[in-house]
Amino acid sequence: MKTKSKLDIQEIWDQFYKTHDVESRNALMEHYRPLVQYAAVRLHSKLPDKVEVDDLVSAGIFGLMDAIDAYDPSRGVKFETYCSPRIRGSILDELRSMDWVPRLVRARAHQLSKATQELELNLGRRPTEKETAEKLQLGKI
């Protein structure tokens, strides 16, 4: 596959701005697809194995498509800089929609796990529920 030079990409951008045609958008998406792949792989490394990279890439493609449609070069920002947070955000939105556990519940579970680990280190044994509750300042159990 032949990589497009900077001049070719500028010509495609110019064509896209004039017509907003599907062919130009598809050429831009194909050119910038490695940015989506990069973001997906980076996020995947922090996720459970049951999450597929291809699912993350699919979600990121929607972010790339939105970025192409909304990009304004007159603002003086490189497209790569502009689209990267949008791609990442699109992937994170998809992950949140797939997650059945609310963020608050997940945060509280993390706090509980952290408190239990700290108490185990300090006490040299598994903490009781009362000790854990005191550590989390939950009051009486």
Mean pLDDT over each residue of the chain, to the nearest integer: 89
User: Is-above-0.75 flag for pTM?
Assistant: no
* Statement to judge: residues 93 and 113 lie in one domain: no
Q: Can you give the pLDDT at residue 6?
A: 67
Q: How far apart are CA 59 and CA 53, in angstroms?
A: 10
* Statement to judge: residues 93 and 114 lie in one domain: no
Q: Can you give the pLDDT at residue 7?
A: 67
What size, in residues, is the chain? 141
Question: For residue 1, is it within any domain?
Answer: no
Q: Is residue 137 over pLDDT 90?
A: no
Q: Can you give the pLDDT at residue 82?
A: 96
pLDDT in tens, 65-105: 999 999 988 898 999 999 999 999 999 999 988 877 777 88
* Statement to judge: residues 35 and 87 lie in one domain: yes
* Statement to judge: residues 50 and 22 lie in one domain: yes
Question: For residue 42, is it within any domain?
Answer: yes
Question: For residue 57, is it within any domain?
Answer: yes
Q: Can you give the pLDDT at residue 1?
A: 41
* Statement to judge: residues 49 and 118 lie in one domain: no
Q: Can you give the pLDDT at residue 3?
A: 52
Q: Can you give the pLDDT at residue 103?
A: 78
For the chain, the distance separating the N- and C-terminal CA atoms, rounded to the nearest angstrom, is 65
* Statement to judge: residues 14 and 38 lie in one domain: yes
Place of tokens 């990069």: 38
| CATH code at position 73 | 1.10.1740.10
* Statement to judge: residues 77 and 131 lie in one domain: no
The token duo for 137 is 């300042």
* Statement to judge: residues 67 and 108 lie in one domain: no
Mean pLDDT, range 49-57, rounded to an integer = 91
* Statement to judge: residues 63 and 49 lie in one domain: yes
CA distances from 29 to 7, 12, 25, 51, 127 (A): 16, 11, 6, 24, 53
* Statement to judge: residues 38 and 13 lie in one domain: yes
Domain count, the chain: 2
Q: How far apart are CA 103 and CA 105, in angstroms?
A: 5
Q: How far apart are CA 59 and CA 94, in angstroms?
A: 6
Q: Which domain holds residue 90?
A: 6-98
Question: For residue 13, is it within any domain?
Answer: yes
